[in-house]
Amino acid sequence: MTTRQFGSPVLRKEDPRLVTGNGRYLDDLGHTAYEVAFVRSPHAHARIVDIDVDGALEVDGVVAVFTHEDLDGPAADRLPLLIPHPSIVAGRTGHALAKEDVNHVGEAVVMVVARDRYLAEDAAQRIVVTYEPLRPVVGIATSRDGDDLVHDDAPGNVAAHLLQEVGNVEVAMATAPHTLTLDLEIERSACMPMEGKGVLAHWDSDEQRMRIHSSTQTSTGVRAAVAAKLQLPLAQVECIAPDVGGGFGVKIMHPWPEEVLIPWAARRLDHDVKWTEDRREHFTSSAHERGQLQQVTVGFDDDGRLLALDVRFWHDNGAYLPYGVIVPIITATQLLGPYKPQNYRVEFWSLYTNTVLVTPYRGAGRPQGCFAMERTMDAIAAELGLDRTEVRSRNFIQPEEMPYDQGLLFQDGRPLKYDSGDFPASLAKLKALVGWDDFTAYREQAEAEGRKVGLGIGCYVEGTGVGPYEGGHVHVETSGRVNVATGLTTQGQGHQTILAQIVADELGVSIEDVYVTTGDTRRMPYAVGTFASRGAVMSGNAVALAARAVRAKALRIAADALEVSEADLQIEEGTISVKGAPHASIALSTVAVMSNPLRYAFDESAKAATQFAGAFDPDKPPVADEDEPGLEGKDFYSPTQATFANGMHAAIVETDPVTAEIRILRYCVIHDCGTVVNPMIVEGQVHGGVAQGVGGALYERMAYDETGQLLNASFMDFLIPYASEVPHIETDHLETPSPLNPLGIKGAGEAGTIPVSAVIASAIEDAEGFPIRSMPISPTELWDLRRQHARTNQETA
């Protein structure tokens, strides 16, 4: 009997390579390529007056120096606005190299190509750019004031404005027995993958072909963008995502300026060209996320049931808007979490600032939405003196109400309609795991020891697996090796393993025989990319469908050969046999040989398929009209809408009564991502997500000064949690399969990050007894809050 792979904690196929130093990340390739360094703007907002590159040209080993003037064709035009949306009133994007002005510190102005990076940096230092500084717009409040503008033709600094309403908030609010208003704030953080971005381009002038390696989350996207920018036929461009050292969203943005410039330079110089982003560049010239100011007004009844929810928020989109308004749309819609607001109005303004642009970072707007909703839930509980889980319970969408349509349009332009989930069951599990009902005793004991502890909670729903589609290609070689290709890319999610698990089961082969390729446009030219926790949902189902096509074909050929009905056949461990008569069998590899009628016997196994090798029907063509040679199959999975995963987290924190230091004592997660392909990998995704959430809650922020200088653009100053800062994470799972796809998967990638700021805020609030309305929070800030509240209490007294 073949062991079922699906659902098992199968060890990862990619690991032996990666742990022994045999990974191939971007900078591990192209050792003979020219290397690039950029001169980047030191100003947040300025006009470029003059660029003097003469000094650079004198440096031995410099090959070329390019400014915007050198760019030609579409490469000189503005970069694309990737996701147009009717709410965008002033969509501005930058140039690959700055043209007349710069709008954030770090914007690329001059590109230096040299024999190696050391020389390129030497030369870059000798370039003199003269700027006329303009008044920078930094911070959401400043941008909202609109006194100074980032872009002259974007009045009020407004890039986009959107209002969605379900029901009638005004009427419901006016008649609600209770109302509360909360002003909330979330600061910027960033993906910070351990490997920054990077691009290597190889131009084959004989074949007029471009091969790009990019540390990207979408190789098909980069390929199409480069073909357009360089005016090359798509057929002459290929893009490969090699091993990618983490993405978390920043690498779904494309084309980055460098993804246009490096191929452009490779063609111009007829030589391989490579750029590897350094850490400072990653801080100042890639992307950040999260920064929002929010105002929530909520109306509710005596039981804490929501009657009306009115949310306005101001979203900092940075200097440009290449990724459109996906992040604020997600905040606006996913804010609702597992709750029924009855009447909901949400309005946002997406604002320009002279800072690094904002594109999705793991969670992509959800952490902010979850923060708003969950702070509101806690505020209602506090106002009514109710248990916080009770208030949440009373507002839950019930399992029997699924599918539940929230009446809004989601980020994919389709209805925000939850497909599945059992929120009361998840909450019950969470309360049991963290010991919710026993916390009073826990707190009393801590208090007796002079310690201050608090318990926090946060619930979320995550729309995952958005379309439009992904594809799968499965090919069985005559050796029995099974090649699987899907177009989306991998940054550590273990796709080579989970997709092999799925195909091994579907096809009835050993997982050792399955080889998965992701993110290579040569193998699968139609794909979208890796984002929105969609890898397992989209490519998982696509490869399953492709494998089913291969299986059907193999059974058809085998049934002919064995002269039995297909229904009587089974495939196990790569052998097709007659059920109940295992001696009547044929290897899948043999079927692969038979599937491809040959003229030439290139090896021993091929002989069997040559034209004089056996009996055939002379009236039929070797390949039937409706058939194709080869044992392979391709299919695409394209869902009507997103699936909706969900989860609930709880944490116990301790705050030092004297120093206000914040320590997480316990962190508990209940997670429902539908059917689990590999529990070990899902668990790992949850751990990593929570760790990033902890960073965002307690440590990470982008410290911009009023001139738009990022003061902490290094790992010395931007505090990514080490092992010493991340708590042990306790997890439990609930599997409510999605009815929307054949495998029942809902996606797990981003989930862990989403509620963490809300949970930690909730726990600190519980420990301290005053509201926490701004995250992240440092000990200093908590200490200040304590003093503030002590003063207020004194004054009141």
Binding piece for another protein, criterion CB under 8 A, among 343-351, 406-414, 583-591, 679-687: 679-687
Q: Which positions from 4 through 33 interact with another protein, judged by CB under 8 A?
A: 11-12, 14-25, 27-28, 31
Question: Which of 58, 153, 302, 604 contacts another protein by CB under 8 A?
Answer: 58
Binding piece for another protein, criterion CB under 8 A, among 252-260, 408-416, 490-498, 738-746: 490-498
Question: Which of 496, 692, 762, 774 contacts another protein by CB under 8 A?
Answer: 692
Closest CA to 649 of 439, 338, 433, 332: 433
729 interacts with another protein by CB under 8 A? yes
Task: Say if residues 237 and 223 touch (Cβ distance below 8 Å).
Answer: yes
Task: Say if residues 102 and 43 touch (Cβ distance below 8 Å).
Answer: yes
681 interacts with another protein by CB under 8 A? yes
322 interacts with another protein by CB under 8 A? no
> Of 334 and 491, which CB lies nearer to another protein in the complex structure?
491
Q: How would you label 274-303 residue by residue, b for 16+ Cβ within 10 Å and e otherwise?
A: bbbbeeebbbbbbbbbbbbbbebbbbbeee
690 interacts with another protein by CB under 8 A? yes
Task: Say if residues 763 and 379 touch (Cβ distance below 8 Å).
Answer: no
Q: How far is the CB of 477 from another protein (least distance, A)?
A: 22
Question: Which of 122, 419, 654, 672 contacts another protein by CB under 8 A?
Answer: 122
> Of 122 and 672, which CB lies nearer to another protein in the complex structure?
122
Q: How many CB atoms lie within 10 A of CB 659?
A: 11
Spatial distance between the Cα atoms of 197 and 245, rounded to a whole number of angstroms: 9
| Strand ranges (E), 341-393 | 344-352
Q: How many residues sit close enough to another protein to count as binding (CB under 8 A)?
A: 62
Q: How far is the CB of 695 from another protein (least distance, A)?
A: 9
Q: Is 470 helix (H, G, I), strand (E, B) or coil?
A: strand
Question: Which of 259, 654, 683, 768 contacts another protein by CB under 8 A?
Answer: 683
Q: How far is the CB of 214 from another protein (least distance, A)?
A: 15
Alpha carbon 646 to its chain's center: 16
Question: Which of 625, 728, 795, 796 contacts another protein by CB under 8 A?
Answer: 728
Q: How far is the CB of 258 from another protein (least distance, A)?
A: 17
Q: How far is the CB of 543 from another protein (least distance, A)?
A: 20
Task: Say if residues 390 and 304 touch (Cβ distance below 8 Å).
Answer: yes
47 interacts with another protein by CB under 8 A? no
Spatial distance between the Cα atoms of 274 and 284, rounded to a whole number of angstroms: 20
Task: Say if residues 644 and 463 touch (Cβ distance below 8 Å).
Answer: yes
Question: Which of 233, 302, 612, 724 contacts another protein by CB under 8 A?
Answer: 724
Which letter does DSSP use for residue 777 in this model?
A: -
Q: Is 636 helix (H, G, I), strand (E, B) or coil?
A: strand
Closest CA to 481 of 505, 515, 508, 516: 515
444 interacts with another protein by CB under 8 A? no
Contacts of 746 (CB under 8 A, 6+ apart): 420, 464, 465, 537, 643, 644, 645, 672, 673, 674, 675, 737, 738
Burial of residue 564 (CB within 10 Å: 0-12, 13-18, 19+) is middle
Give the x-and-dash track for 188-227 against another protein (CB under 8 A).
---xxxxx--------------------------------
Question: Which of 218, 376, 426, 493 contacts another protein by CB under 8 A?
Answer: 493
126 interacts with another protein by CB under 8 A? yes
Task: Say if residues 557 and 504 touch (Cβ distance below 8 Å).
Answer: no
Spatial distance between the Cα atoms of 371 and 670, rounded to a whole number of angstroms: 18
> Of 224 and 673, which CB lies nearer to another protein in the complex structure?
673
Question: Which of 278, 627, 705, 784 contacts another protein by CB under 8 A?
Answer: 278
669 interacts with another protein by CB under 8 A? no
720 interacts with another protein by CB under 8 A? yes
DSSP letter for each residue of 73-102: GGGGSBPP-SS--TTBSS----BSS--SEE
Encoded tokens for 616: 């055939």
Q: Which positions from 241 through 270 interact with another protein, judged by CB under 8 A?
A: 243-246, 248
Q: Is 445 helix (H, G, I), strand (E, B) or coil?
A: helix
Q: How far is the CB of 190 from another protein (least distance, A)?
A: 11
Spatial distance between the Cα atoms of 261 and 566, rounded to a whole number of angstroms: 55
Give the x-and-dash track for 598-627 against another protein (CB under 8 A).
------------------------------
Which letter does DSSP use for residue 727 in this model?
A: P
Encoded tokens for 27: 């900078």
689 interacts with another protein by CB under 8 A? yes
> Of 286 and 353, which CB lies nearer to another protein in the complex structure?
286
> Of 298 and 670, which CB lies nearer to another protein in the complex structure?
670
> Of 230 and 686, which CB lies nearer to another protein in the complex structure?
686
Q: How would you label 8-29 residue by residue, b for 16+ Cβ within 10 Å and e otherwise?
A: bebebbbeeeeeeeeeebbbeb
430 interacts with another protein by CB under 8 A? no
CA atoms within 13 A on the CB side of 390: 11
Binding piece for another protein, criterion CB under 8 A, among 36-44, 239-247, 306-314, 342-350: 239-247
> Of 714 and 793, which CB lies nearer to another protein in the complex structure?
714
> Of 118 and 616, which CB lies nearer to another protein in the complex structure?
118
Point out which residues bind another protein (CB under 8 A).
11-12, 14-25, 27-28, 31, 58-60, 116, 118, 122, 126, 191-195, 243-246, 248, 278-279, 491-494, 680-681, 683-685, 687-692, 714-716, 720, 722-724, 726, 728-729, 752
